[in-house]
Amino acid sequence: MNRRDFIYKTSIAGSSAIASPQIIDSLISTGKKPKSVIIIGAGFAGLSAAYKFVQNEVSVTVLESRNRIGGRVFSHNPENAAGQVIELGAEWVGASHERIISLCNTFGLILDNNQFETDTSISGIHRKDGEWEFGTVMNEFWNKKAALWKNMTEKEKRKLDKTDWWRYLSNLNIDEKDMQIRELLDSTDFGESIRQASAYSAFSEYAESSEKNEMDLKIRGGNGLLAHKFSEAIGIEKIKLNHTVKSIEQTNRKGVKVICDNGSSFEADKIICAIPTFSLLKINWLPDLPSRTYDALQELQYARIGKYPILFSERFWQREDFDMITDTPAHYFYHGTKGQPGQSGVLTCYATGDKGEVLASIDKKRRSEIILEALAPAFGNVKKYVQEEMMYYWGQDKYSSGAYAFYGKYQRFDVMPTLKKSFMHCFFAGEHLADWQGFMEGAINSGEEAADLILRGH
For the bound state, the minimum distance from the C-beta of residue 445 to ligand FAD, rounded and expressed in Å, comes to 10
Mask for 235-254, x = binds ligand FAD (CB under 6 A): ---------xx---------
Q: Output phi, psi for 61, to 5 deg.
A: -130, 130
Distance CA 104, CA 73 (A): 15
Residue 61 contacts residue 39 (beta carbons within 8 Å): yes
Distance CA 10, CA 194 (A): 25
By CB under 6 A, tell whether 275 contacts ligand FAD: yes
Q: Which residues are 349's β-sheet partners?
A: 308, 333
For the bound state, the minimum distance from the C-beta of residue 378 to ligand FAD, rounded and expressed in Å, comes to 23
Residue 390 contacts residue 408 (beta carbons within 8 Å): no
Distance CA 117, CA 139 (A): 17
Q: Given candidates 6, 39, 53, 89, which one binds ligand FAD under the rule CB under 6 A?
A: 89
Residue 211 contacts residue 117 (beta carbons within 8 Å): no
For the bound state, the minimum distance from the C-beta of residue 87 to ligand FAD, rounded and expressed in Å, comes to 7
By CB under 6 A, tell whether 408 contacts ligand FAD: no
Closer by beta carbon to ligand FAD, 85 or else 138? 85
Distance CA 240, CA 392 (A): 24
Distance CA 331, CA 128 (A): 16
Q: Given candidates 19, 58, 81, 90, which one binds ligand FAD under the rule CB under 6 A?
A: 90
By CB under 6 A, tell whether 78 contacts ligand FAD: no
Residue 255 contacts residue 248 (beta carbons within 8 Å): no
Q: Given candidates 22, 58, 64, 451, which one binds ligand FAD under the rule CB under 6 A?
A: 64
By CB under 6 A, tell whether 224 contacts ligand FAD: no
Site residue total, ligand FAD (CB under 6 A): 40
By CB under 6 A, tell whether 62 contacts ligand FAD: no
Q: Given candidates 169, 225, 300, 305, which one binds ligand FAD under the rule CB under 6 A?
A: 305
2-10, 149-157, 275-283, 340-348 -> range binding ligand FAD (CB under 6 A): 275-283
Q: Given candidates 160, 443, 450, 455, which one binds ligand FAD under the rule CB under 6 A?
A: 443
Distance CA 317, CA 126 (A): 13
By CB under 6 A, tell whether 274 contacts ligand FAD: yes
- At 432 the three-state DSSP class reads helix
Distance CA 144, CA 142 (A): 6
Q: Given candidates 225, 372, 403, 453, which one binds ligand FAD under the rule CB under 6 A?
A: 403
Distance CA 293, CA 412 (A): 14
- Amino acid residing at 181: I
By CB under 6 A, tell whether 91 contacts ligand FAD: yes
List residues binding ligand FAD (CB under 6 A).
40-46, 63-66, 71-73, 89-92, 244-245, 274-276, 279, 283, 305, 307, 394, 399-400, 403-404, 430-431, 438-443
